[in-house]
Amino acid sequence: MTDYHPGLDGVIATESSISDIDGEKGILSYRGYSIEELAEKSTFEETCLLLLTGDLPTKDQLVNFTQKINARRDLPSGLIDLLKTLPKNSNPMDVIQLAVSSLGSFYPVEFDAEKLKAKKYSNEYFVDVSAGIIGSIGSIVAAWNRVKNNKEYIKPDNNLSYAENFMHMLDDSIKVTPLINRIIDATLILHAEHTINASTFTAMVTSSTLASPTQVVASAIGSLSGPLHGGANQKVILMLEEMGSKENAPKWLDDRLSKKQVVWGMGHREYSTKDPRANILTGMVQELFKEQSGKVSEMFETAMALEAACEDKLAKKGVYANVDFYSGILYKEIGIPVDLFTALFAISRTSGWLAHWIEQVGNNKIFRPTQRYTGEKARKYNSKS
């Protein structure tokens, strides 16, 4: 192949059975199950195991997997001490990348290329390793929130689900209702996997070198941190705050478009209709506002006005609201700090990254794309000093 495709747009780089997108119809599925059905009927733990193994688990399999996640929720004291050495104003994505990378020091993972080639690692091995990383990362994010606010680490409660325990460890001042727990659980499911996006491709490239799974996840976290990927939900809140009120939305949008600036939370390369995950979150936003105040918040009204203005201006170009547009609003209303939005995304997407790690090393070939050279032709060395 000699054609150049910036950003690898349209290039088929792999085959995968993990998730699928029909961008024209606005359909996203995990292992053949629609995201709408999973968000309504499944749990984050069950969805993780589905992504990792390919099938919905039995009751006993789910209990066993949940126990393996729970066994790694309580962080080693050395890892807490490591977090305490970091400046309190550190970017949370830098912190969790560092902490996840260090997990291999606290919990060494045997991953030998020769054993892999000889197929000596069982399916249970991959599930066990993945469960440990998934169990740790939620606690890392919650622990960092405590540390940076000079508060004591809250130990996990194994009687709680993943979503409930995350909120329990994050901030004991947040009033958590059953609806809030359901929203956190659903957003974790919705963000868990999304085919070969930038961070997942990063995870696959790292996986293809047969790096440790903790380094696979750490590399993906770095990719997710950018505002054109996982950081967009934080940008949505800043954008809505800058806008001020719903009355300002049309003019603000016109100014933004005239300057060819990004409208955060709008449009997705994979969808020519509204992101199906955004449709699910729209209803949850309305449920939360009804529970909390009986009326729609000013920020939600501003978001609705902006979406309407965007639909008027951009729908004909196939640009609609995506999942970041609404997840940011939900997290803000629940009381999750804005700087943790992308970290929460990373907690969820870890399950998808690990599913791709398992798939990649199961039929591995190291990624090594070529390039088109545009530099100088051969030159003779002639020192100018």
Count the residues in the chain: 385
Q: Which amino acid is at 74?
A: D
* Beta sheet of 27-30, edge-to-edge order: 19-22, 27-30, 33-34
Find the distance separating the first CA and the last CA of the chain, reported in whole Å. Answer: 42
Cα–Cα distances in angstroms (integers) from residue 193 to residues 248, 308, 369, in the given order? 35, 28, 24
Residues ≥6 apart with Cβ < 8 Å to 148: 88, 89, 90
SS3 of 129-197: the string is HHHHHHHHHHHHHHHHHHHHCCCCCCCCCCCCCHHHHHHHHHCCCCCCCHHHHHHHHHHHHHCCCCCCC
Residue 127 in 3-state DSSP?
helix
For the record, the structure tokens of 225 come out as 């941190």
Tell which residue, 356, 260, 274, has the closest CA to residue 308: 274
Phi, psi at 310, each rounded to 5°: -65, -40
Among residues 171, 185, 275, 324, which one is catalytic? 324
Q: Point out which residues pair with 271 in neighbouring strands.
A: 268
Among residues 168, 194, 268, 356, which one is catalytic? 268
Interatomic CA distance for residues 41 and 4, integer angstroms: 43
Interatomic CA distance for residues 299 and 240, integer angstroms: 7
Is 255 a residue of the active site? no
Other CB atoms closer than 10 Å to residue 170's CB: what's the count? 26
Is 324 a residue of the active site? yes
| Positions marked active-site | 268, 324
